[in-house]
A and B are shown apart, each in its own frame.
Chain A
Amino acid sequence: MQIRTTRFGPLEVEPEDLIRFANGLPGMEDCKHWVLLADAETSALGWLQCTSRAEVALAVVSPRRFVPNYQFRVYRSELAPLELDDVKDAQVLVVVGKNDRAITLNLKAPVVINLQRRLGRQVVANGDQPLCYELAHTPAPLKKSA
């Protein structure tokens, strides 16, 4: 099947590429089917592209790459719809945003995907987790002048 996207042009996707979010995502409850794309330039980055709305795509990253000590807890009910045999099989991604100062990561509501069964869900992490975790700009390494 071919899908339209505003960012990446028309894309040919196979039915087995689709990831189903039974409840959509908060704010995009009508977006039930998504496809995970790798960014063409930045290997750490992926895009969750909605297959029914061309303009809806979310940049996603593996949080551990940027926040090595990131851990979160969720209620069992949040993960039950994903039909995971083992929680360790889940792929955890977080949504990338941007504010006036920095690129941000939504650590409060990670996206959890069961890649085998192609099921996904954005869960709400318990406790204090930042909705907009600002990534520090890596300063350019200083060169020794002498």
Chain B
Amino acid sequence: MLVLSRQRDESIMIGDNIVITIVDIRGDKVRLGINAPTEIPVHRQEVYEAIQRENLRASRLEPKDTRGLGSGKEVRGRRPEAREE
């Protein structure tokens, strides 16, 4: 991993068009300003990890757990019992 030392208001550039600026440093908290093209997603890592965990938890759901959702707008999927010829 590349490690760079920066002070407040200093920046690093990633490629031609991503600029990360140290906006503020207070104790153990660093505020970063990120300037990137809109097509580059920027997410906190813990958000992505939380989604991973939630997906794994949700993948253990069984049909019986979902009773209580009631009827509503149909999800356009295949009926599992329908066999195609």
Chain A positions near chain B (C-beta within 8 angstroms): 7-9, 11-14, 17, 25-28, 35-47, 55-62, 64-66, 74-78, 80, 91, 93, 95-98, 103, 106, 108-109, 115, 122, 124, 131-132, 135, 137-138
Given A36-B78, A103-B66: A62 touches B73 (CB 8 Å cut-off): yes
If A46-B77, A124-B43 touch, whether A59 touches B53 (CB-CB below 8 Å) is no
Query: B55 to A58, Cβ gap below 8 A?
Result: yes
Inter-chain CA distance A93–B48, complex, in Å, is 18
B61 on the A face (CB < 8 A): yes
Given contacts A37-B77, A98-B61, contact A27 B52 (CB under 8 A): yes
Cβ of B27: which chain A residues have Cβ within 8 Å of it?
none
Asked if B75 and A36 sit within 8 Å, CB to CB, the answer is yes
Q: How far is the CA of A56 from the CA of B42 in the complex (A)?
A: 28
A44 and B77 alpha carbons, distance in the complex (Å): 11
Which interface class (under 10, 10 to 19, 20 to 34, 35 or more) fits B?
A: 35 or more
Bound-complex Cα distance A61 to B53 (A): 19
Chain B 58-85: CB-based contact to A (< 8 A → 1; otherwise 0) = 1101110111111111111111110110
Q: 17 A-B contacts, Cβ less than 8 Å apart? A: A25-B55, A26-B48, A28-B55, A37-B80, A38-B79, A42-B66, A42-B67, A46-B76, A57-B59, A61-B72, A74-B41, A75-B41, A77-B40, A108-B51, A109-B54, A115-B76, A124-B41
A98 lies within 8 A of B51 (CB): no
* Interface flags, B21-52, vs A, CB<8A=1, else 0: 00000000000000000111111000110111
Q: Are B79 and A108 in contact (CB under 8 A)?
A: no
